[in-house]
Amino acid sequence: MCPVLLPQLKNASTIDRMSTSIYLGRDDSDVKNAQMLIGGAYDKAKIDGELFTVNMVDPHDLSLANGQTNSVNVTAIEVVLDGGNRTAETYGEKNVGSPVLLDTGIAAWYMTEKIFAAVYHGLGGQGDVPGGTRYVPVDCMYRDPDHTKSYVSVEFGTAGTVKVPLSSLVSQFSDGTCGSFIAARGDSLSAIGDPFLRGVYSIFDQENFTITMGQVKHAEEEDIAQIPEGGFKAAR
């Protein structure tokens, strides 16, 4: 969302709070209930379990956040495959982590080489990744959650963890083939886009500079609630 729009709406008393709550919906071409709520509301029906809140990396720190909001610290990522095989990495200082931009305007999930290799293997990938495409070709059977229970776990310090099923990372295209918008990018974290954000319900608060997340629940019903006065608070 344009960074000047929320302040304009707040100054005009159109909204009560500079916040954006996002539900991307299932990864289907005909999804009809993707949702963005602005101004201090969120949809409780789209959340499975408890919410947790993390502080954004200081957007005024050019070295950490490049002058942008919506970056948070990730402390660890683990890939857990069927059969119990685990691949894990930790990042940055203990309980601090490394800054990662969460952005719905990015179609891919950029991973380190190690994590990418584990996810690629979990989706049936073998050998080198084909070049020249924006996605990794995947057999459509991996799109079925009954076929694989593998998942990627993303840890945000002591605040909370989100588990994203590998099956949810597989998109089906108009020609009937499938692929995953995952990509390897060196040994450091940088940006996480729609493939991850589809697996969470997220609330971006541009007043407190926090992001509140919860495991997503794909539901048709709505239960719109107001964000608590003063916004959700990150644990100290």
Q: Give pLDDT tens digits along the chain (236 positions).
A: 556 788 888 888 888 899 999 999 999 888 888 999 999 999 999 999 999 999 999 887 766 666 678 999 999 999 999 989 999 999 999 889 999 999 999 999 999 999 999 999 999 998 777 666 789 999 999 999 999 999 999 999 999 999 999 999 999 999 999 999 999 988 989 899 999 999 999 999 999 999 999 999 999 999 999 999 999 999 87
The domain that contains 151 carries what CATH number? 2.40.70.10
Q: How far apart are CA 145 and CA 143, in angstroms?
A: 6
> Does residue 231 lie within any of the structural domains?
no
Number of domains in the chain: 1
Give the 3-state DSSP-derived string for 129-146, with helices as H, strands as E and coil as C: CCCCCCCEEECHHHHCCC
Q: Strand pairing partners for 36?
A: 22
> Does residue 236 lie within any of the structural domains?
no
> Does residue 212 lie within any of the structural domains?
yes
Q: How far apart are CA 74 and CA 95, in angstroms?
A: 9
> Does residue 41 lie within any of the structural domains?
yes
Query: How many other CB atoms are there within 10 angstroms of residue 154's CB atom?
Result: 24
> Does residue 232 lie within any of the structural domains?
no
> Does residue 233 lie within any of the structural domains?
no
Q: What is the pTM of this model?
A: 0.91
> Does residue 197 lie within any of the structural domains?
yes
Q: Residues near 84 by Cβ (< 8 Å), separated by ≥ 6?
A: none
Range of the domain at 165: 5-226
Report the largest interatomic distance among the alpha carbons of the chain, rounded to a whole angstrom. 56
